[in-house]
Amino acid sequence: DVQLSESGGGLVQPGTSLRLSCAASGFTFNNYAMSWVRQAPGKGLEWISGITGHNTATYYTDSVRGRFTISRDNSKNTLYLEMNSLRAEDTAIYYCANSLHVVVPAAAEHWGQGTLVTVSS
């Protein structure tokens, strides 16, 4: 069975940093693009970042570009999201998801359970 498990969320102050991890199992990790999607409390889904299966390219939505960095370690079957200069509006549940495609981070087939990030003073 495919499993995705996020960790690293928590309560942090504005302006600080946090690193999320997503451990993957049950599929050939480097065959699929991966994404981070977030959902603020009571709001809709927002795609924030993606990375190709073979780590050849990374993509970001405008609101996080320059502050967040996505990466992956295919030898450890793990996806990461380094988040810097956190703002109150970054408060959300952060999900990792695997794409059905190698390059295009669309079609998120499997999702983790999510990790809550709360940015507040």
Partner 1 sequence: QSALTQPASVSGSPGQSITISCTGTSSDIGAYNYVSWYQQFPGKTPQLMIYDVNRRPSGASIRFSGSKSGNTASLTISGLQAEDEADYYCSSYTNRATVVFGGGTKLTVL
Binding site for partner 1 (CB under 8 A): 35, 37, 44-47, 50, 57, 59-62, 95, 100-101, 104-109, 111-114
Q: Is 55 helix (H, G, I), strand (E, B) or coil?
A: coil
DSSP 87-112: -GGG-EEEEEEEESSSS----EEEE-
Q: How far is the CB of 97 from partner 1 (least distance, A)?
A: 8
82 or 101, CB closer to partner 1? 101
* Cα–Cα distance for residue pair 29/40, rounded to 1 Å: 27
* Cα–Cα distance for residue pair 60/55, rounded to 1 Å: 14
13 or 41, CB closer to partner 1? 41
Q: How far is the CB of 112 from partner 1 (least distance, A)?
A: 8
2 or 88, CB closer to partner 1? 2
